[in-house]
Chains A and B, each alone.
Chain A
Amino acid sequence: MQSRMRTAALALGLAAMALAGAWTTQAQDLKSFEQKTTTKVLPNGLTLIICERPEAPVFSYSTFVDAGDVNDPSGESGLAHMFEHLAFKGTSEIGTKDYAAEKIALAKVEAANDAYEAEYLKAVGRDEQKLAELKKAFKEAEVEAHKFVIPNQFTDVAERNGAEGLNAETGLDETMFFWSMPENRLELWAYLESSRLADTVPREFYKERDVVIEERRMRTDSNPEGRLFEQFVATAYVAHNYGRSSIGWPSEVSQINATEAMEFHEKYYVGANIVVAVVGDVKASEAMPVLEKYFSRVPAGPKPEEMTTVEPRQFAEKTAVIRDPSQPLYVEGYHRPDYRDPDNAVYDAISDILSNGRVSRLYRSLVRDQQIAAGAEGVSPYPGGKYPGLFFFIAAPLPGHTPQEMRNAIHAEIDKLKTADVSGEELAMFKTRTHADLLRGLADNQGLANSLAEYQTRYGDWRELFLQLDKVDKVTKADIRRVANQVFVPGNRTEAWIETEAPAAAAQKDAGAQ
């Protein structure tokens, strides 16, 4: 239901790190986790992970689908997110009074929408009267189909059975569904979750599309930061889908249809593309057969082919300026490799040293000493990490200071990284905090379920959650200097900012759909 707009490091970058010296988290925790964690790949390709943590009679789950808005077909931006909303609308058993009849009614809705769209999109000779009639016919078909609907029954069953924190998120790289429940509802949950993955019905699709467009207005059109971020990534990318609006361009998201959504489902919601992790008061020996029974219903299918597009090397420095009545804000970004790059942990180190807390370089320089910014950070990857993303800087000037001052101050900090080694203390701090953060995260069922599912998807093995600490521990001062010199170069840079302009002068406004 949320579309995730990440400004901070993605969960993959979930920092981990080792207290210098007698710190043995990694080996110790991996060992204890291996004893508590059971993994099974079903014949349909779906991976199940169960992690036993019987602290209280509850469990949390995370369904991680390796498809997000980066996979939206051309002309259909926002489709993955739209499908995520559909996954709350029930199945052929849940949410319907008579599915056989409803199915026929839904086909009529789709046909009516196709007829309307065909007329609407005519470049020449569109007949406005016919269009109005087609619209009316579509509305009537919708009303007819609605007669079979038991609204929100899927979520109703979940909530009445104690579902807590019920939600979903669509990112560019993935779609996640999650909630927590009392442990005695495990089988009921397995039924509900496997049903919506395997047996989605495009019910109330067009009303939900209006809801999603309303979500776009809230997150992007009516939000100064949303407007800035959307323009920023659109400027930074020329070829890869990371440059596209993830919630969808207004004209595209307003014309997605149910057929397209179901095609997306058929292609991406197959066993090989889904990991389900359960953490809590669950015994793997008893629960695995139950989960297996239900999740075997998910269709088998090949792992969808990877996209061929690779963002070409940027060699032209780019700038985007929004003249807007809101207060100034500055961002810039540099293209970096994807999460599998051997230097992935080096980027995490740079981010930590620049941005983590009051000891960070950007805080001390821009906020404490120069007193020109209210806050400043440099994090990565943004807007996604599965494919090459950006190392992303953001700074909010104090009253009376300008975006240009933010840029100059950030560049000065970048130059320091390129010309001098970071201190031993800074590097040790990064490693220590990464280890401690990983450890702290282990006490949270939901966070742990999310991480296990994500690491299983991205590395083919959840153990990488712990093993990555090894890469963190190996980061050197020379690595940081080398990567900074490689990536933070003007030709690889995109800058964007809000230039505050009085309302009367900001004549042109960008409105959303409709």
Chain B
Amino acid sequence: MNSSSMKKLYAISSAFVLCALLAAPIALNAQQNKPWEKIPIPKLHDFKPQQPKRIVLKNGIVLFLQEDHELPFVSGSVTIPGGSRDEDPAKAGLVGLYSQAWRTSGTAKLDGDALDDLLEAKAAHIETEGDEDSTALAWDSLKGDADQVFSLALDLLLHPRFNVEKLQLAQQQEATGIVRRNDDESRIAERESDKLVYGANSPYTRQPELATVGAVTLDDLKAWHDRTIGGKLIVGIAGDFDPVAMEAKLRAAFEGLPAVKPEPPRHDVFAGPQPGISFIDKEDVNQSDVEIVGLGTDRRNPDVPALAVMNEILGGGFASRLFQKVRTELGLAYEVGGGIGFDYDHPATFRVGVLTKSASTVDATRAALAEIAGLTARPFTEEELARAKDDILNSFLFRYDTRDKVLAERERLEFYGYPADYLETYRAALEKVTLADLGAAAKKYIHPGKLAVLVVGNGPEIKPGLDELKLGPVHAIDITIPQPGKQSGKQSGQPGPAENTQ
């Protein structure tokens, strides 16, 4: 989730809000003739992003209505608090199964297959999804079918069926994902480096296994649904509808539900990684995926604007330090980038990633580590600050250039309890970031000694070896996929379950 809205533009002069769009780039090089700087940049056309109408029902459910009459479609969604971080660890994968079987089972009146036939004949959709902190029901259709599709979606929300065959189908799909999870190098690197940061058993990283997926029952799905459906639902509708009629329809549908129950407060512990270097051997690759990770922060942190500017300088775009050094100057990577992450309600990860040929693993890792250390050692320049601000502020408009994006941002802010004018405040804070702020943020948040390095690659091809990095003993991670009822194997890096290799 990251997008945007601009509220209350009527209260602020649009010239103020958009002024950064007019700022001309600063000269890089005095003697260079720069014809592009002579090209006039006129004032941007006036623009007031249309905000959705927000309605809070007496039971606490929140409705957003975003009219858009460009095309004859209507779409909607219901966001429900509670996601995979709230699962029973012994049933990890439950939300993934739930989000499939909920939709494929269908409603009490109409089974999932019949629902598919009915909707697809109208080029309409109703789908369910599961996330780390929420689940959702979403639909869309042509205007003429909107009433019927809405009532089917509402049926699915309030009268789901949950069918055991569809649960089994979902379990098979999940199992396929599990046995294939070590095929792709980048997936391994991302997953295992997250575990280094949060811990393998954290609600944010624990992974579904064949055993935990197999342990989920139909009753578990029903219990999950009954519990989460009583939370603070956020309903958003967008498209070509009559606002008065739509509001009446939504009130009729949601006003009668019981008062929402607040989510209990969370007590997660975020310790950050053990410093050092880990390795996962994968013999069928000729490129290493190097991930340098640590603990990030959350968006409520007032240092986030400074950190966002720092990220842009470190790994944001073509002009960033990492890109310039590792890709352009050294030619060691196609993919390189990263920065400190911020989530809405918990610390994200700090992450710098590089993909490089096996033989240059050590060189590329060193170069990336040097750029990270350089954040505190090499002072930021006025030019870097100006460039990073231009990059961020001049494209800020793309956070709210469609009505769908404005709606999605408002739903997100509502979900996480942020003020509706968050983007405006954030933008204003970005504009105010100074060199001193950057220096202070780097000092406060960049601690190379606290970072963990993970390399996924082809061991015999990595020469010089990882010990050359002098980051301490290289810790081998075993990613063998546990088979239910069996001890996990000792060799690392390969799935190789016998029953899958006929």
Q: Which of A150, A400, A425, A443 contacts B499 (CB 8 A)?
A: A400
Given contacts A97-B29, A183-B45, A374-B173, contact A399 B120 (CB under 8 A): no
B297 within 8 A of A: no
B201 within 8 A of A: no
- Beta-carbon contact of B501 and A500 below 8 Å: yes
**A27 at the binding interface (Cβ < 8 Å):** no
Which listed residue, A19, A56, A217, A512, touches B47 by the CB 8 Å rule?
Answer: A56
Q: Is the CB of A157 within 8 A of B36?
A: yes
Is B84 on the interface with A (CB-CB < 8 A)? no
- Asked if A435 CB lies within 8 Å of chain B CBs, one says yes
Distance in Å: Cβ of A469 to nearest Cβ of chain B: 13
Interface centre among B41, B44, B501 (most CB of A within 10 A): B501
Contact A223 B398 (CB under 8 A): no
Cβ distance B148 to chain A, nearest Cβ, rounded Å: 14
Are B121 and A224 in contact, CB atoms less than 8 angstroms apart?
A: no
**Interface: A168 (CB within 8 A):** no
Kindly state whether residue A319 has any CB partner on chain B within 8 Å: no
Contacting A502 at CB < 8 Å: which of B41, B285, B397, B494? Answer: B494
Interface size classification for chain A: 35 or more
Which residues from A are CB-within-8-Å of B184? 223-224
Q: Which residues of A contact B332 (CB under 8 A)?
A: 210, 214
Distance of A435 Cα from B124 Cα, bound (Å): 12
Closest residue of A by beta carbon distance from B184: A223
C-alpha gap A165/B28 in the complex (Å): 24
A231 to B400 alpha-carbon distance, docked (Å): 44
In the bound complex, CA of A394 to CA of B185 (Å):
21
Cβ of A72 under 8 Å from chain B: no
CA A162 – CA B317 in complex, angstroms?
12
Which residues of the partner chain B approach A163 to less than 8 Å between Cβ atoms? 395
Q: Shortest distance in angstroms between B71's beta carbon and chain A's nearest beta carbon? A: 6
Question: Are B120 and A359 in touch, CB under 8 angstroms?
Answer: yes
Contact A503 B283, beta carbon cutoff 8 Å: yes
Of B58-66, B244-252, B323-331, B442-450, the segment with at least 4 beta carbons within 8 Å of chain A is B323-331
CB contact under 8 A between A160 and B387, given known A97-B29, A208-B331, A396-B176: yes
A313 at the interface (CB under 8 A from B): no
* B331 adjacent to A184 (CB under 8 Å): no
A161, A400, A501 pick with most chain B CB within 10 angstroms = A161
Nearest CB of B to A297, in Å: 12
| CB neighbours of B242 from chain A (8 A) | none
Q: Which of B43-59 contact A (CB under 8 A)?
A: 43-47, 49
Contact status A97-B31, CB under 8 Å: yes
> Please, which residues of chain B bring their CB within 8 A of the CB of A192?
36
Complex CA distance for A474 and B206, rounded to whole angstroms = 52
Q: Are A442 and B121 in contact (CB under 8 A)?
A: no
Counting CB contacts under 8 A, is B359 at the interface? yes
Q: In this assembly, does B265 line the interface, its C-beta being within 8 Å of a C-beta of chain A?
A: no
**Cβ of B253 < 8 Å from any Cβ of A?**
no
Contact A399 B327 (CB under 8 A): no
User: Contact at B169–A180, with CB atoms within 8 Å?
Assistant: no
Q: Which residues of A contact B29 (CB under 8 A)?
A: 97, 150
- Is the C-beta of B394 less than 8 angstroms from some C-beta in chain A? yes
Q: Would A182 and B394 be within 8 Å (CB), given that A56-B47, A398-B175 are in contact?
A: yes
Q: Per-position contact with A for B374-415: 1 when CB-CB < 8 Å, else 0?
A: 000000000000010011001101101110000000000000
Also in contact, A325 and B496, with CB within 8 A (given A93-B33, A157-B25, A214-B334): yes
B40 contacts A by Cβ under 8 Å = yes
Residue numbers in A under 8 Å from B73 (CB-CB): 439-440
Q: Is the CB of A224 within 8 A of B284?
A: yes
Q: Which 3 A-B pairs have the closest CB atoms?
A: A162-B394, A210-B331, A436-B123
A–B complex contacts, Cβ < 8 Å, 16 sampled:
A19-B142, A57-B401, A150-B29, A180-B398, A188-B36, A214-B332, A223-B184, A324-B284, A325-B494, A327-B179, A374-B176, A396-B180, A432-B121, A439-B71, A443-B71, A500-B501
